[in-house]
Amino acid sequence: MAPLRVLCIHGYRQNGSSFREKTGALRKLLKKHVELVYMSAPHSVQQASSEAPEKDNGPGPGPGGDEGSRGWWFSDVQARSFSAQQQCEESLGLDDSVAAVREAVRVQGPFDGILGFSQGAAFVAMLCSLQEHKLEPDFSFHFAILVAGFPSACKEHQQFYNPPLQIPSLHVFGLEDRVIPDCMSRELLPSFQDPQVLTHPGGHFVPAASAHRQAYQDFFKRFQ
């Protein structure tokens, strides 16, 4: 049985290489069953001392490779920065990021599903909405996994959250997450018709302990 191919969308101020490093335990947990394919966001992010990066709580190198810190969109158009809590009328860069995913699907696809972390998970919800409204004919994801996701606080993004999305989804979040508190992740659940939920006692990272294997496998089993 061929493994499921899943496109992985990193968090703000990560990149494809660093996210691959951070999800090594998940790849090991899912090996033989799932192939995780990584891409990087098109926008470079300037380092700002006031911003907390979206990283896990464990040790390890920072952003990997030569790509540096990347983001999918900016909530502060002038400063070219992003905060999940920032209310804004319009954002900067989302269209370029959708185009980058479209290109990744054409070049590296097809993909069975899509996985996003933090800002990447918020972006995945938007991509699923575009797919369901038939605005992106190249997209054919059968499922979505959203880790530490949240609904965008940007007014122009509200179009993505109504009506509930039909795509099967697994929502994963940590009860001790201080970057994206679990209450923010729960706010995304009503945007999906039948959301499956996996909570863990930790913080802002993709959980991949043996205790989580069954929940992931049960979800993936529906698509194999």
Dihedral angle sign, alpha carbons of residues 146, 157, 194, 37: negative
- Residue from 87, 67, 65, 68 nearest 76 by CA: 87
The DSSP annotation for 146-198 comes to EES-----BGGGGGGGSS-B-S-EEEEEETT-SSS-HHHHHTTGGGBSSEEEE
Q: Which of 17, 69, 118, 169 is catalytic?
A: 118
Is residue 177 part of the annotated active site? The answer reads yes
Is residue 43 part of the annotated active site? The answer reads no
Structure tokens at 132: 């369901």
* 131 neighbors 141 (Cβ within 8 angstroms): yes
Is residue 204 part of the annotated active site? The answer reads yes
* 120 neighbors 43 (Cβ within 8 angstroms): no
What is each CA distance from 107 to 39, 94, 206, 209, in whole angstroms?
Answer: 11, 20, 26, 32
Q: Which of 17, 56, 177, 191 is catalytic?
A: 177
Could you give the count of Cα atoms lying within 13 Å of 73 in the half-sphere of its Cβ? 27
Q: Catalytic residues, which ones?
A: 118, 177, 204
